Structures are given as C-alpha cells and as structure tokens.
A and B are shown apart, each in its own frame.
Chain A
C-alpha cells in the first residue's frame, strides 16, 4: 500500500537534512505507529505520503514514495485524496467551513459524489468520531478536542484507503482518545484501512501491528509493539514514555514482560506478593500531613456562559490554599479553560465572585493581577511576539513599573528556571515546541505571580520535554508557588498533583486529594476519564497507588511463598 525507498528530504533554507534515507513498506490493512522524539522527522515523513513533499513543501527531495501504486512525484496532491487521507498536527488550520456537516462534506464534494452519497458520507464520518450531534455547530466554536475529531472526520468522509495521522489525540480527553482509536480499529476491520499514526502515548501503541521508532531522520527500530517497547531505557532515551506495566515488571525483576494491568495482576498474584498495610498507611499519612498556607484563591458560586442558554460554568465553588499543586481534569468542553480564565480576570463571572487574596478581582488592574495569578496559555504560539527570547520574558515585568535592573534580574531568574538562559538572544520561533512552551512559562514566571495557572502545558511534547516541563513545574511548587494545572494526562495527575478537581459540564464533580479522587473510578468514568494502568492495577490488588514507585513500595515481598517460583 505504502512504499518508501531511500527517501531523503532537506527543507529549503534550513540547516540539516530532516529525512536521511527512509526505507519502509506498509501492507494494506496494517496499523503502524510511528514514535520518536520531537524533531526526529516524523511529521516530515507524513508529508511525503500524499505528495505534499515534493509538490507543496519546498526542498530537496530524493528517493521514491509510492502509495496505492502511484508515485507521489508524478501525481498531484489532490489526486491522492481518495487514496490517502492526511490529518495534520495543527488541526485548527484544516477547518474552514461554517458548519460541522459542511466541513465533512467538503472532501466528498470535491470528488463529485452525488447528493445521496454526500449525505451518507457526512453522517457516517461524523458518527464514527461521535460528532453527529454537532452537525449544525460552527467548527470555530468547538473545543480543541472536538475540532481534532472533526479534522479526522473530514478526511474519513473521503473513505481513503490509507490514513496518515500526525498526533491525532493530543487534545482529546482520555475517553475521547480510546474512542477514537476504537473507531480507527473498526474502520480497519470493516474497510481494510491502512493506518500510519504518529503518537506519543506508548499505551496506545500496544494495539498496533508494528511500531517504528525514528530518531534524527532515520528509522532506528521496528517490530511488534512487544519487541520494540520492551526496552524501557532505550525508549526513554528516544523521548518515548516507557510503559508503566513494563516498567513494573522490570522493577520487580520478573522474567515475563507485562503489558496490561490484567497480566500484571495475575503475575503478582502468582508470585504471591501481598500488600504491606504499613507501607500503605504511611502513604496515606504522607497525604494527610501535607500542610498548606492560607486561602489564596476563592471562587464562589461562579456561573458563566458564552452564549445564551448554554452555560460553560454553573455554580462553581473552589478554594485553593497557598502552596497547593492542583490538577483540573475533565472532558473536552467541560469548562476547565473557562474556569482558569476567571482566575486572572480575563473573564468576569456573570454571577458569583472570584477572590484573590481576599480581594474581588473585578477591582484589580491587569498589571496588579499579573503579580498574583499568572496564566500560561495552551498554545505558546498565540502569545509569543518578541524577536528575542529575552524580550519576550521581559514584557511582563516591564509593565509592572520596575527599574531596568530589577527587570533584568527577574528575566534572568525566569529564563534560568526554564533552562533557556543560554538561548536568550535566539528568535523564539526557531525554538522547538517544547522550548517555546518553556518560554511561555518563563514569561509568566518573570512577573513573579504567587499562583501559576497552566492550561495543558504538556500538549504535543515528547517524553523528554514532558519530563523536564514537569520537573520545572514541580520546582516552582517547591519554591512556594501555588500551581493549578489543566491536563488530559491522567498519569501526570497521578504522579504530580496533590489535589485533583474533576469537572463535568461546567460543574465540579469531584474535588479532593488525588488518591481519594482516583479511588472513586465510578465518578471518573462519569466524567469520561480513565485511570492510569498502575492505579487500576493497584485497585485490583485492593488499594490505590498513584505511581509505579508507590506500588512497588507497597508490595510485600517479605512473605515467602512457594508459588513465587515461576
């Protein structure tokens, strides 16, 4: 179906070759995951598959790409539409119609299909990504995750023989993710669709027929998921998150490699390992003993709606104390970002009050508020405007009326904290996505706010970038900043947040210490969230561990058991 021979590509006017000789064969109906660090050349590889390279993207292209028996060099991009559908990473730029159904119809219309067939394609493609009820909505007003699903539907509507997806789940909530993957599996079964998918989520890659690892423009490993994903260390070095269950089996030094909580559960039982009550009590005590300062943020009975009749927030109450590390989770469109925008006065509550340090934020000026609550936006590219990294970070403190010397100190501190001090003279737009995200944090940090609110700070980052971002955030929390983080990544919440707020349809569904919230899978499920594998394993064992470390620490290896010899 897809065949690449000796493919090399060098972007016009750019440093190094991005693809350095790729050879790859993908069979019809095969599901292939492509993984690797940022900058490995994954997106570039995708762009060669429907001829965007060499037809629309300039550069030096060598080798040969053949899709459905046609050579990309010889056939224009538009001719490939019925054969291979490409969904880009930047899904917002792919939507240009005024309703969801017209968006889905656009491709089939270009293919000249008759009206009955158009109707069928629209219905079928929207239903397959659970967007059927949004038919008449405007794509521009959908939430990030909804837009992402629509971008996929708009390509599916052409029923391409092969689908190439460049990080299709970055903005989806956990349930949305698994639904989307399920939809793709169904398509493969029903239509024999071939699938190539760039993905950072290792757990999802287990369902693939083949996993490719890419680094610095080359394919460095390929094989079945078990073969390729087994070596956790090598994965981590390549910027790919190791599987929790594999990490666990190697920590426990078992000869078998576990991939799912079910396998791990059986394995642990047959080894006769028990849970150390003492160790678990210690964990719970550690949770209880956490001390926080006074209330810094108080949201009481806040309601807000963008349009009449559809409230985005309903009677939300939330108190945050100094020094807390709080995660806000929930489905796409559940009101998380709307709530965050109330915390620094970008939105004014239509009813209710928001107090920062006991003062109504409606009475504060933006320059005063920015010292109290800093908000880091989801997409760094919407906020970065300076031509130098240093100037970008100096914008906020400059507005606070500080002396140039003070501004300089603040900027230096902030850039130091995010590890960008050496890049201070660079143009932000040449930085990687991870570095731009860090710069966005630095520019907020430089205003020295007590409370830092981060809206999905790890979207689109690879594992290395993600780990360093979380280390940065944790460091800020240790240094006394109160942290509120909106995220879809449940493993991140489990590993880092002391408290978790679950939102659903504009309300707070659950609010408490993370362990307590994660001990209630029913309400998480109600909010369309799923437990990380290690948490779900620990619950099978009768307690709630949040990380592999905690789980290993609570397993009682003292009791000798004859069955443990496998």
Chain B
C-alpha cells in the first residue's frame, strides 16, 4: 500500500527547483481565483492537468477521486442555492447561481488537483528546503514538512488496525453507511494511542539526532535554479499576465450575479 503522494520520477517537472514548483502552484491558484465563469475555470484546470500530466502525477488523482467528486458536488449545490442571480430558473436557483456553482466547484477541485500535483512531484524535504530559501525559519519549515510526513503514518496505523480487526471477523463492507461508520470507531483507539506514543518518541529521536544543535544547519539535498526553471517562470508569468489583462478587460465574470 503506497501511502505517500510523492512519486519518485525523473520528469521535467520533478527536476524543477521546489521554489519554482511552489510558484507554479500559486500561479495556478491565481488563474482560478481571478475568474468566475466555468469556462475560464475549465481553462485553468486544463493548464494544471497539462503540467500534471507532464509530471506523471495524475495517477494520484485515482486515490482521491471520491473526495474530489464530493467536494465538487457540495460546492456546486451549495453555491447554486446560496448565490443570487437575475434569471430565475426554479426555487432559489437562477441561471447565474448555477453557473457560479459550477465555476466554484471546478475552481476548488482544480486547486486541490494543483496541490496534489505539487506534492506528487516534490519531496517533503524539498518543500521544506524551498520554504527555507524563501525566508521561512528552519523550525517552521521543518514542522510543515513533518506534518506532511505524519499523515501517511497515521493512515498506515489505521490500515494496520483495520487489518487486525478484520482478522477477528469485523466486516467493514456490511451494513448501511451509519453502521459502517460505527464500525470504524474501535479503530480510533489504537490509532490515537500510537500517535501519541510515536509523537513522543519522535521528539526524543529528533533531540537525540541533534535537532537544533548548531545555529547553522547544512543540507544534503541541493536545490538551485536551472534553465527549466527559467522556461517555466517565463511561461507562467505570460499566462498570469494574460489572465490579469483579461480580467481587467472584464472577461471571465458572470454578468448578473449578485454576491
């Protein structure tokens, strides 16, 4: 069972400096956040999918497709009801609110996809190192990368607990949704206890390995900007410029939408 998102590949995108990848993710967010129109959001998603495909990271979406679907569906329905427009269709729903719901659903899912692509192609340690070079203090960057690192550990502990209880006859696939959810409750105790125990041990192991012993710390990983970073930087800047220009010209909004 592969619990980490990171995939060790040697693609154009993997070889980029982590700072460039952070930049690419932020630009992707901006492309999505500038607009409301679902067609523009779709264009933004397409950009993300293109570099995601180049990074060979789209396979990871299979792990979270249900989550993406649920989040998309919820934001679509929520905004379709809550947003106000000028062309009523039925009940609370207007043509504009429907479009806005659709746009927001694509926007949120696309942002998650951009995050997944980033984490699939960047090691935790690279993320940390990138953040440090961007000026974040080491302990903060380390805490961030440790949080990323611990998620799969907890998921792993959960899987082991599930296996142990299935071995004793627990059938997690039987019953309705509520019954199935209830069956997961016994899993929480070992996960919780192991988490506390291992966090405690982790703190000791960190100290024991000299965490923070010297003011200046060195890094085994080497990062640096290369030609690829420049290419991506120019491309993304052009794309961002185009998007801002379009937005200033009034494109990509939903006319008649009242927020």
Contact = CB atoms under 8 A, between A and B. Distances in A.
Contact of A386 (B8, B187, B189, B208): B189
Interface in B200-246: 201-222
A452 B197 CA distance: 29
Contacts of A99: 123
Interface stretch (B21-29, B101-109, B146-154, B248-256): B146-154
Interface residues of B, number: 58
Given A346-B163, A367-B169, A382-B157, A110 B210 contact: yes
Interface string B161-178: 101111111110010000
B165 to A, nearest CB: 7
Contact of A158 (B164, B205, B210): B210
A387 to B, nearest CB: 8
Nearest to A112: B214
Contact of B190 (A52, A107, A370, A383): A383
A98 B197 contact: no
Contact of A93 (B164, B202, B217, B219): B202
Interface in A82-101: 82, 85-86, 88, 90, 92-94, 96-99, 101
20 contacts: A52-B207, A88-B204, A90-B197, A93-B198, A93-B202, A97-B124, A98-B6, A102-B125, A111-B210, A114-B218, A306-B1, A345-B166, A366-B166, A366-B167, A377-B160, A382-B157, A382-B164, A383-B164, A383-B190, A385-B187
Interface string A383-409: 111110000000110011000000000
Most B CB within 10 A of own CB, among A93, A344, A346, A429? A93
B169 A400 contact: yes
Given A136-B8, A385-B161, A399-B170, A96 B202 contact: yes
Nearest to A52: B204
Contacts of A55: 207
A61 interface: no
A109 B190 contact: no
A107 B209 contact: yes
A108 B222 CA distance: 15
Contact of B201 (A94, A109, A396): A94
B168 A443 contact: yes
A98 B207 contact: no
Nearest to B188: A385
A381 B2 CA distance: 22
Interface stretch (A20-28, A73-81, A201-209, A465-473): A73-81
A68 interface: no
A440 B62 CA distance: 35
A50 interface: yes
Interface of A: 47, 50, 52, 55-57, 76-82, 85-86, 88, 90, 92-94, 96-99, 101-102, 105-115, 118-119, 122, 136, 138, 140-141, 154-155, 158, 306-307, 341, 344-346, 365-371, 374-375, 377, 379, 381-387, 395-396, 399-400, 429, 443-444, 447
Most A CB within 10 A of own CB, among B174, B188, B205, B217? B205
B169 A399 contact: yes
Given A88-B201, A110-B209, A385 B3 contact: no
Given A81-B210, A94-B201, A385-B161, A113 B218 contact: yes
A425 B168 CA distance: 21
B137 interface: no
Contacts of A122: 220
Most A CB within 10 A of own CB, among B124, B166, B215? B166
Contacts of B165: 383, 385, 395
Nearest to B2: A307
Contact of A365 (B2, B146, B171, B216): B171
Given A98-B124, A306-B1, A395-B168, A50 B222 contact: no
Nearest to B199: A93
Given A107-B210, A374-B168, 14 more contacts: A81-B209, A88-B201, A98-B124, A109-B218, A109-B219, A111-B213, A140-B156, A158-B209, A366-B166, A366-B167, A366-B170, A368-B169, A385-B161, A447-B169
Contact of B194 (A102, A118, A382): A382
Nearest to A85: B208
B241 to A, nearest CB: 35
Most B CB within 10 A of own CB, among A80, A96, A384, A443? A96
Nearest to A117: B218
B193 interface: yes
B190 A396 contact: no
Nearest to A107: B209
Contacts of A56: 203-204, 207
B144 interface: no
B186 interface: yes
Contact of A77 (B190, B201, B208, B218): B208
Contacts of B205: 88, 93-94, 96
B51 interface: no
B59 to A, nearest CB: 11
A82 B201 contact: no
A93 to B, nearest CB: 3
A105 B220 contact: yes
A115 B220 contact: yes
Contacts of B218: 108-109, 112-115, 118
Contacts of B189: 385-387
Nearest to B186: A385
Contacts of B125: 97-98, 102
